[in-house]
Amino acid sequence: MNNLFANRMANAHKSFIREILKVTADPEVISFAGGLPNPQYFPVKDLAEAAARVLAEDGENALQYSTTEGYLPLRQYIAEWYSTKKGLEVTPDEILITNGSQQGLDLIGKVFLNAGDRVIIERPGYLGAIQAFSIFEPMFIPVPLQEDGIDTDLLERALDINEVKLFHTVVNFQNPSGITYSKQKRLELADIFKDRDTILIEDDPYGELRFAGEEVPPISSYLQGNVVLLGSFSKIVAPGLRLGWICAPEDVMESIVVAKQASDLHSNYFSQRIVYKYLCDHDIDEHIAGIREAYKSQRDRMVSSIEKHFPEEVKFTRPEGGMFIWVTLPERVSALRLFDLAGGENVAFVPGSAFYVDEGGKNTLRLNFSNSNEDEIEEGIKRLAKVMKKLLAADK
């Protein structure tokens, strides 16, 4: 049977995080592994009311097939949101509704990548992008992140010596590191890409989750042309709806629409109608403000717990938003070994090597703070610190 599989499947890997989540299904395990929003802040009652209204007012149409591009009023809402919140002039024709922003990555790969094409990703990079693009057999070029964004000197050098199709970046509260690109780095990127054919993918699923610091305009506000934006309702409404979007120039969008037609005809139309009704009938800004307040408290508790319990030689980021903290152990210490030992204490995380394409990150790990209450955070960090101290002592 194996000889029947396409060659591309030889290099396709299961999601490391999805596999870990199977282990953490045990209720005794305190899990910092998944990139999960806190379900306490899903607007369950409001979405139920929106669904009932959609069915009562236009059920026959809401349950029918629809256009590939997505529900026009929802696309208009997103375009207006870009204009009022981000200062971007976007038309509904430049918006395509997708099955989460993950499908956006898949469609971009289908449209642009041939086997062997070069793709620049952040180091560490978003696992979802690595996995989505890997199916198309590209050559990844990882460029290191600094505290305020990607190393632009190394990025420019990589672009100068390679013919690069795509550059993928998560500029706000990056997954996995939690860092945010400074305004200066965004301006530098705009300058670097303004005269190049490379497509810059500005992936922004966490941008609305800022709870500290100042808002920074998107790279797209400084750069015209070869920019594709990805957005999602997963972090600000609910991930189970599986609704995201691609924002792209119309000449690019034409090919993306064709690729989506071949994939699934269109995204869940009923979900689109529900989300639009919910957005029309409720103050989404007030809802997001509640999420931000909660995540800030959870981030603060994790930071204070780390400061209290982790060994001094362990370093970590202090994100201004999003859902993740990145931890760096001394170079001699293996995060995979730590993961194995932490299982005995019923605490889980994601070893950082999952976010590298070049065997790096062996002494790093990602912690999620959004999906645990504050008492669980304190106890989980305490358990993890206990194992860390044992491992550090053994490796001296």
Range of the domain at 171: 60-281
Residue ending a domain, choose from 229, 256, 281: 281
- The arithmetic mean of pLDDT across residues 348-355, rounded, is 95
Write the CATH number for 29. Answer: 3.90.1150.10
Residue 7's pLDDT is what?
Answer: 75
Position 6 confidence tier, pLDDT thresholds 50, 70, 90:
confident
* Identity of residue 200: L
- The upper half-sphere exposure of residue 143, i.e. CA atoms within 13 Å in the direction of its Cβ, equals 21
Domain membership of residue 53 (yes or no) is no
Residue 23's pLDDT is what?
Answer: 65
164 and 68 in a common domain: yes
Residue 28's pLDDT is what?
Answer: 87
pTM: 0.94
Residue 89's pLDDT is what?
Answer: 93
- The arithmetic mean of pLDDT across residues 75-96, rounded, is 96
The string of pLDDT tens digits covering residues 375-392 is: 999 999 999 999 999 999
Of all residues in the chain, the percent with pLDDT exceeding 90 is 90
Residue 17 has pLDDT above 70, yes or no: no
Residue 9's pLDDT is what?
Answer: 75
227 and 373 in a common domain: no
274 and 388 in a common domain: no
- The arithmetic mean of pLDDT across residues 156-161, rounded, is 96
Domain membership of residue 217 (yes or no) is yes
315 and 200 in a common domain: no
Domain membership of residue 50 (yes or no) is no
User: Alpha carbon of 70 to those of 52, 77, 78, 230: distances in Å?
Assistant: 20, 12, 12, 15
Residue 312 has pLDDT above 80, yes or no: yes
More confident site: 92 or 8: 92
The string of pLDDT tens digits covering residues 217-272 is: 999 999 988 999 999 999 999 999 999 999 999 999 999 999 999 999 999 999 99
Q: How far apart are CA 386 and CA 396, in angstroms?
A: 16
The string of pLDDT tens digits covering residues 269-291 is: 999 999 999 999 999 999 999 99
191 and 226 in a common domain: yes
Residue 14 has pLDDT above 90, yes or no: no
Q: How many domains does the chain fold into? A: 2
User: Alpha carbon of 193 to those of 65, 142, 282, 325: distances in Å?
Assistant: 39, 17, 39, 29
Residue ending a domain, choose from 281, 297, 326: 281
Residue ending a domain, choose from 281, 304, 328: 281
Domain membership of residue 52 (yes or no) is no
Domain membership of residue 47 (yes or no) is no
Q: Mean pLDDT, the chain, as a whole number?
A: 94
Domain membership of residue 390 (yes or no) is yes
Q: How far apart are CA 190 and CA 209, in angstroms?
A: 24
Residue 2 has pLDDT above 70, yes or no: no
131 and 261 in a common domain: yes
296 and 153 in a common domain: no
Q: How far apart are CA 304 and CA 315, in angstroms?
A: 13
Q: What angle do CA 360, 124, 207 make, to 5 degrees?
A: 170
162 and 270 in a common domain: yes
267 and 157 in a common domain: yes
Residue 128 has pLDDT above 80, yes or no: yes
Residue 205's pLDDT is what?
Answer: 96
Domain membership of residue 79 (yes or no) is yes
321 and 203 in a common domain: no
17 and 136 in a common domain: no
Residue 19's pLDDT is what?
Answer: 66
Write the CATH number for 204. Answer: 3.40.640.10
Which of 53, 89, 62 has its CA nearest to residue 282?
53
Residue 3's pLDDT is what?
Answer: 72
157 and 32 in a common domain: no
Q: How far apart are CA 95 and CA 249, in angstroms?
A: 9
Residue 269's pLDDT is what?
Answer: 97
H-helix or E-strand spanning residue 386: helix 374-394
* Contacts of residue 359, Cβ cutoff 8 Å, sequence gap at least 6: 353
Residue 1's pLDDT is what?
Answer: 65
